[in-house]
Amino acid sequence: MVRRGLSLAVHVASADFRQRVRSRRLLVVLAAVAYFGYQFNVGALELLYMETVNGETLNYRGEPTSAYVGLTTGVTGATILLFVGYYVLTGSLERDRSTGVDQLVASTPVENWSYLLGKWLSHLGIVSVILVTLGSGALIDHLVHGVGTTNPLWIFGAVFFVGFPLGCFVAGVTVLFQSIDRLAGTLGNVVYVFGAMTLLSVFLAIAHDRGAETTTLWIRLGDTVGLFAAGEMTFDALLAVAPEYSGPAVANYGTGADGAETVTYYWGGGVWPGWFYVNRLGLVLLGVGLVVVATVPYDRVSSGRNTTQTPVLGRFGRFLPSFFGGRTTVEPDSHVGQNTSLTPVTDRTSDGFGELFVQELRLLLRGHPWWWYVGGAAIAVVGLSGSASPRAVASIAAIWPLFLWSTMGYRATTHRITPFIVSSKQPYGQLLAEWAAGVLVTTIFFGVALWPTVAETGFNGFLVLAGGVLFVPAFAQLSGLVSRTRRLFELGYLVVWYVGPLNGVAVLDFAGATGETAGTVTPLLFGTVGVVALLGAVAYRSLQV
């Protein structure tokens, strides 16, 4: 039975993998990965040991031997998979739901574990394609710029040894989240990006505090992207050229400080630490374990999209009239096409923007879980009362509507409404109405957070508000339109939000959370990006019509 289940899983994986590799979207992902790898290989972005001596920053990087290129590309691949892998892999179960394939599968003898295992294996196929792309780029780079003999075994070996196990883990998380209705959408994307960022941040902080060689085995076992292993393997080579080195014993990503001296050290390869084998095996097993766990919440019969559960506002709306003895629903005796004449329409010339705006606003606000509305109301109350830190309110107000924004642009595609829109008299009107609805929602959320800034700084504060309001909905709409998924926007937005409003990097603070952007060029830049994105969305619509 297990053997048959495994065989079925391979069939599921094979079909899923073939479907995905024939998608042009994967080409875009691979192009982005290759570009990132190229930037890394040409030194625009590097793994650097850094120290400060007498106020001067010193950077240390390895000479581009096969081993060094393989090791650093492996760490890069793992980092890419940690942050982007979930978003690349996650569409598989969703696609089966939207195409109805899940219903076909549900009627077959395929067990849930076979189906989910198949999806996981398909994910690993995509992970392999990504790593092969990255490894191939590194191989070519070494042939062109490298030092010593080009050793494909070291390059591809390191890329896969570091990257693939993490891919197994991320694939497992993906399967698990997609199996839980609540986590299959935006909430899961938010949870994942928070988890990934927190995980990496914590380990980097530990590494910088203690150094790779002094960290405990347990902490090293949690080294997801291989930074500790890379540190442990190359640190002696670093000390050979810099015996007095006093910086962290783990290299970190960087572009090198401006004007800093860069010293190279030679590392021609070495033995992987024993604990790293356990670490990588653990990630693979964790991935399998997550698939097993996913079989518990996974519901093959009734996916989240087809649920008949009514949103809370709808239930409330129906509760009121019934409570007060209002409208009752009576089974009518009318039949299709009988005894009803149709009012002739003589005027089809209504510009209808106002009506369209109302409709789009309804679509934007409808269908979210009850706690989202409660949270939105709480943000409004707290923000307007001025009782909480403006920074905290602005940060939260800039993330809460993510559930709304992420449906923009992509909603019509996913619900197959596009033919109605492009064959209507208002294909551009619909686009602008959707954007305007997004602007209104953004203005409300950012407004309740930024009103103290506007009150305090006047026009400059208004520009901060306007920059955010112009930026977010247009960015969301263009991302949704072009990618036909909400994940591109969610990933991009979450990263900018995490770095800017949440962590206080003012140059990326589009929401004015830091209180440092009023009077600076930052709001103008984000506003400009928003206008360009809106024009991009209009241009994209012109291709559709």
Partner 1 sequence: MVLRLDSVGKRYSEDVWGVEDIDLELEAGIHGLLGPNGAGKSTLMRILTTVSKPTTGTVYWNGTDITESPTVVRNVLGYLPQDFGVYPDLTAREFLEYIAALRGLNRETATARIDELLALTDLQHVQDRALRTFSGGMRQRVGIAQALVNDPELLVVDEPTVGLDPETRVRVRNLLSSVAKDRVVLLSTHIVPDIEATSNNVALLADGELLTHTDPESLVEATAGNVYEYLAQREHLDEIRRQYQVSSTVQQANGVRVRVVATERPAPDAESVTPTLEDAYLDHIGHRGFE
Q: Which residues are at the interface with partner 1 (CB under 8 A)?
A: 305-308, 310-311, 314, 318, 329-332, 334-338, 340-345, 347-352, 355-356, 358-359, 362-363, 366-367, 411, 415-417, 419-426, 429-430, 545
Residue 82 gets which letter from DSSP? I
Least distance between partner 1 and beta carbon 187 (Å)? 17
Q: For residue 484, give the nearest of 23, 93, 12, 167 by alpha carbon.
A: 23
Give me the helix-helix angle, 370-385 and 427-457, nearest 10°. Answer: 30
* Closer of 130 and 421 to partner 1 (Cβ): 421
- How far apart (Å, rounded) are the C-alpha atoms in residues 338 and 95? 40
What span, in angstroms and rounded, lies between the C-alpha atoms of 72 and 41?
Answer: 9
Q: Around 198, how many Cα atoms within 13 Å sit in the side-chain half-sphere?
A: 7
Smallest separation, CB 423 to partner 1 (Å) = 4
Work out how close the CB of 275 gets to partner 1 at its nearest, in angstroms, rounded to a whole number: 50
Q: How many helices (H) and strands (E) does the chain have?
A: 23, 4
CB of 143 to partner 1, least distance (A): 36
Q: Which residue's CB is nearer to partner 1, number 214 or number 340?
A: 340
- Closer CB to partner 1, 22 or 348, in the complex: 348
Output 3 or 348, the one with its CB closest to partner 1.
348
What 8-state DSSP symbol labels residue 225?
S
Q: Smallest Cα–Cα separation from 105: which of 293, 295, 300?
A: 300
- Supply the DSSP symbol for 223: -
Instruction: Pick the closer one to partner 1 by CB: 91 or 452.
Output: 91
Q: Which is nearer to partner 1, 115 or 403 (CB)?
A: 403
The least CB distance from residue 326 to partner 1, in Å, is 12
**Residue nearer to partner 1 on the CB measure, 434 or 509:** 434
Q: How far apart are CA 416 and CA 98, in angstroms?
A: 10
Q: Which of 141, 142, 163 is nearest to 230 (CA)?
A: 163
CB of 331 to partner 1, least distance (A): 6
Query: Residue 489 CB, nearest distance to partner 1 (Å)?
Result: 19
Alpha-carbon radius of gyration of the chain: 27
Strands annotated E in 386-521: none
* CB 176, min distance to partner 1, A: 25
Q: Which is nearer to partner 1, 455 or 539 (CB)?
A: 539
Asked if 70 and 161 count as a contact pair (C-beta separation under 8 A), the reply is no
Question: For residue 386, is it left (φ>0), alpha (ψ between -120 and 50) or beta?
Answer: left
